Homo-oligomer: A and B are copies of this chain.
Amino acid sequence: MQKIQPGHFYAVGIGPGSPDLLTVRAVNIIEAVDVILTPQAKGSNRSLALNAIAPYLHQQEVMTVNYPMQRNGSNTQERWRRVAEEVMQELQQGRSVAMITIGDPLIFATTSYLLYGLSERLAKEKIHIIPGISAFQIGASRFHDPLTLQEDRLTLMSATDLKAVENALSHCETLVLYKAAGVIVDLIALLKNKNLLSSSRLVSCVEHGAQELVVEDLELWAPQELNYMTTVIVRTGEKSWQKEEKQDKGTQF
């Protein structure tokens, strides 16, 4: 069991949003830490991360870090630099600080910006990363086939640049597209054009109760408004594992 240490920083992945999808280690750290930082993009729903850890909150101080939702170059960098300095002040007073992140702190997470700032100021051994269940994992769990097996390549990326998406379809067996909501109409047209629409699935707000949307086959989907947290999983094919009879490679996952 990892013991909380004074003056140490913990980047804690809290998973998709359900309190029971935190790891035991994440729970232990959140319960023992002095200060909990929770990032909040302006205009977004602050309660998501705090709801996920609600059962584990008691005496800890909770600090909200506001940051602009837009990427805005030097402004964003300056904002995170100031947050890093505030965190350093807490740490230098001997307090322990945890920043919580929906999902995993190293996979498409704003925590990364803070980690950059901190790594210039804080000794490496005082920084701890606690992985969390990422959106693609909980999304895929709603279907019952593997994301990747044997020699299959799995690629995760943002859906925002459809030219890049089209290119990626030829270089992996499973493609996970985050942030699909904003491009959904054009993305569906692209997948249809590639004959991949019926091998494509969509999930949104997984583990968020009645908001959860699971579409097994995008061919059957009627357009509707989608939440920001929408993921599309495209199965472009598989290298070998369904033609297994022909193989005897002497290796196995």
Would you call A245 and B74 a contact (CB within 8 A)? yes
Q: Are A133 and B23 touching (Cβ within 8 A)?
A: yes
The answer on a CB contact under 8 Å between B161 and A156 is no
With contacts A22-B24, A171-B171 taken as known, whether A148 is within 8 angstroms of B156 at the C-beta atoms is yes
* Cα distance, A154 to B177, chains bound together (Å): 11
CA A141 to CA B176, docked complex, whole Å: 21
Known: A20-B2, A20-B25. A252 touches B157 (CB 8 A): no
Task: Give the distance in Å from the alpha carbon of A252 to the alpha carbon of B1 in the complex.
Answer: 34
Q: How many residues of A contact B (CB 8 A)?
A: 81
Q: Shortest beta-carbon distance, A45 to chain B, in Å?
A: 15
Residues of B contacting A153 with CB < 8 Å?
155-157, 164, 168
Question: What is the bound-complex CA distance between A155 and B107, given in angstroms?
Answer: 12
Q: Which residues of chain B are near A64, meaning CB under 8 Å?
A: none
- The interface-forming segment of A87-95, A122-130, A194-202, A219-227 is A122-130
Which residues of chain B have C-beta atoms less than 8 A from A247's C-beta? 71, 73
Whole-angstrom CA separation of A185 from B78 in the bound complex = 43
Contact A157 B147 (CB under 8 A): no
Q: Within the complex, which residue of B21, B132, B150, B245 is in contact with A24, where a contact is CB–CB below 8 Å?
A: B21
* Inter-chain contacts of A2 with B (CB < 8 A): 20
Could you pull out 8 A-B pairs where Cβ atoms are within 8 angstroms?
Answer: A71-B249, A109-B253, A112-B146, A115-B144, A131-B137, A160-B251, A178-B253, A179-B253
